[in-house]
Chains A and B, each alone.
Chain A
């Protein structure tokens, strides 16, 4: 995949270790307490997603800590993306059925009186391929979510757009062409625009579905930097099948593999450096060592 570094300079466990060390220092500065103490932002319990008779992923129980990066890793087709889309109810429109419980804080995401619109405002999504809205300018793209949510006021939208673009490390690049078509930007810029668009509605959680898979290594590096920085404000759930990317940017990781009956399942979850260093499950060990998947 395009996000892979051409040379693999360091073993996975070492990359994850450096990341963990840097993170402990950072969290000591910002939060003043170890990251494991933060309450989960999203809790999944016994989650299963199926399409008709076909079960895509089953029995996922996972706590996603607030303001950290949680990576969902595993080979293609093991249900990572399917699970990710369940978290903000995107399967409502694809005919997938979700069982088990998914909670955002105390709120049942699939509760009877839970409004999907309000849930999706709080749990944003960035897709595999950059998908800026066509026939909209850079500015219109960034504020589109705000407008959809009934936010009015020129000055307010302008401020929000600037702030979101700053957060997405795109402001300096686009500040002079806010009114130009968004599709004129490069692929990496488009993806950062999509991140800004998602951030503009002030979500608490940001789901990212292989956000670098369509980008070149330089654009990938920029997005990875961005992910690390965003985690100070937003809880990030990142789907990737690039283990090096998971090691570089994530605090927590969850490994998904196909069961014997070709159904995706969660094999092991934990701190990324531990997972890559001393995986408890033999299947995780094989996957991390590159023997399967």
Chain B
């Protein structure tokens, strides 16, 4: 390469950079604008949905709506207390089933890299894609039919199955943020694997574990299909109540559905905020 060609190339690059600058700046601005539009567009449905639900639901909302038991159709003064407690009970029970299993399964996936782990990870992904109505009918066949009874337990089981794959993958991802060399550092101190898992991996991953699990819960709280097959009456859970009352022609039923929808939304929102605060507080203490 000669000095002359190097010099001309320098001039050429300079000229090209200068010449294309306006075009590059315009392209950049356009791309930025597009991103902003997309960001707004993705938030707009949420805002609209919140606004509509609040404006419809707030009219119905009152203290008695929350604490009174449902009344038969046509009799005023009914509330949704059974649906609220039912939902809480079912979700709580589902958590007791799903959280420990998911944690242990995730630890297994974190630690092992063999074919079994790959197969498990794959089946978790497949399970995550199974439509929730199929999980509902599965719980129906497994628990409702043999026992001849609809039950909160059957509903909780269905929700647990639904949450498991989401939780497992979220837990594993959370653990992956704790690098494998920390795990090895613990082992190299002579600790038992279980001890390292508890003290180093779980502790370090705790903020992400909390966030991941709470998001899975928020997802499960809103599920309706698994409950269709496992609960005897629509007033046993909030989502089911919204489904049955919302599809009725009577204004009173529809109002109840909107009120319940608002309560459910508030519950999910509360969970998400709680997740954020918990993760923030834990990670602040960890530093």
Contact = CB atoms under 8 A, between A and B. Distances in A.
* Interface residues of A, dominant DSSP: helix
Interface string A13-45: 000000000000000000000000000000000
B72 to A, nearest CB: 62
B190 to A, nearest CB: 29
B68 interface: no
B219 interface: no
Given A117-B24, A163-B1, A166-B1, A149 B9 contact: no
Contact of A118 (B6, B12, B17): B17
B115 interface: no
Contacts of A115: 21
A278 interface: no
Contacts of B9: 156, 159-160, 163, 202
Contacts, number: 47
A150 B16 contact: yes
Chain B interface bracket (under 10, 10 to 19, 20 to 34, 35 or more): 10 to 19
A115 to B, nearest CB: 6
A150 B12 contact: no
* Interface residues of B, dominant DSSP: helix
Interface in A101-146: 115, 117-118, 121, 146
Contacts of B10: 202
A150 B23 contact: yes
Nearest to B3: A233
Contacts of B16: 146, 149-152
Given A117-B24, A118-B18, A163-B1, A149 B13 contact: yes
Contacts of A156: 9, 12
B17 A117 contact: yes
Chain A interface bracket (under 10, 10 to 19, 20 to 34, 35 or more): 10 to 19
A202 B24 contact: no
Name, among B9, B14, B17, B21, the residue most crowded by chain A CB atoms within 10 Å (CB to CB).
B17
Interface in B117-134: none
A201 interface: yes
B20 interface: yes
Contact of A150 (B1, B6, B20): B20
Contact of B24 (A150, A160, A163, A201): A150
B284 interface: no
Nearest to B23: A150
21 contacts: A117-B17, A118-B21, A121-B14, A121-B17, A146-B13, A149-B17, A150-B19, A150-B23, A150-B24, A151-B12, A151-B13, A152-B16, A156-B12, A160-B9, A160-B13, A163-B1, A163-B9, A201-B13, A201-B17, A202-B9, A202-B10
Interface of B: 1, 5-6, 9-10, 12-14, 16-21, 23-25
Interface of A: 115, 117-118, 121, 146, 149-152, 156, 159-160, 162-163, 166, 201-202, 233
Per CB-CB distance, the 3 closest pairs between chain A and chain B, nearest first, are A150-B20, A149-B17, A202-B10
